[in-house]
Amino acid sequence: MNKLIALMIIIGIGLIAFKISRTNNWSFAERTENTTLSDQERYNKAFNRVKSLVENKKKYNEEIAFLLDMRRPSGRNRFFVVDLQNNRILDQGLVAHGSGSETGKAGQLHFSNTENSYATSLGMYSIGPSYNGHFGKAYKLYGLEDSNSNAYSRNIVLHKYNSMPYDEQVASICLSQGCPMVNVKFYERLQAVIDPSPKQIILTIYY
C-alpha cells in the first residue's frame, strides 16, 4: 500500500513538472498563456486565408507571402517569409507593432484602423511600389479588408529602422507608429524578394 501511494506521488510530481515545463517554453507549435490557438494553428489559419486569396485573384504572387504573427512576443521572430507552394518558412525576423497597440498588459495588444491611432491593423495587405521617405526606401501597403482599409491613407508602410534589433531577445523591442517595421539587415533580404516579384506580394498581420 505504501509503495502504491509513493508511486502515485512520484507520478503526480512528474505531471506537474511536465506542465510547468510546457508553460515556460514558447515553441512554434505549443499553446501558451493568453493564447486561444497555438502558434501553429494561427499560422495554418493565416496561411490558408492567403493561399485562398492568391488562388482566386491571379494578380497576386502565388509563390511567396509574408505572415506576421502579432500574438508572439515582440522580442521573438514573428515575421515569416513563406513558400506558398510547399508551405515552408523560408526566412524570419523581428517586426515591431504600433505604439497605439500597447494595452499596458503583457501579451495583450489592441488593434485599430483609425487615423492617428498609431496602432497596428490586422488583415491582409498587398505590397505596393517602393518610395524614398523618412526611413529611406519603404513599400506602400494597401489594406484589403475592413480591418485595414485605411492603411494607405494612414501611411502604413513596410520600412526598416536603424534601432531595430536583429536577434531575438527576452525584452520587448521598439515600437512603430503602426507600421510593420523591421531591422535593416532583415529588410535587405525582404526587398530582395519583393523587388523582382512580377506580381504584388501579400502581407498578412494576424493575432
177 pLDDT exceeds 50?
yes
- Give residue 29's pLDDT: 38
pLDDT band at 15 (very low <50, low <70, confident <90, very high): very low
Q: How many residues does the chain have?
A: 207
- Give residue 18's pLDDT: 35
Give the pTM: 0.83
- Give residue 107's pLDDT: 83
Of residues 35 and 154, more confidently modeled: 154
Please name the fold of domain 36-206. Answer: L,D-transpeptidase catalytic domain-like (2.40.440)
Distance CA 166, CA 54 (A): 30
- Give residue 192's pLDDT: 99
Region 147-157: mean pLDDT is 99
Q: Which of 8-12, 25-29, 32-36, 75-79 has the lowest mean pLDDT?
A: 25-29
Of residues 161 and 19, more confidently modeled: 161
pLDDT band at 106 (very low <50, low <70, confident <90, very high): confident
Domain boundaries, the chain: 36-206
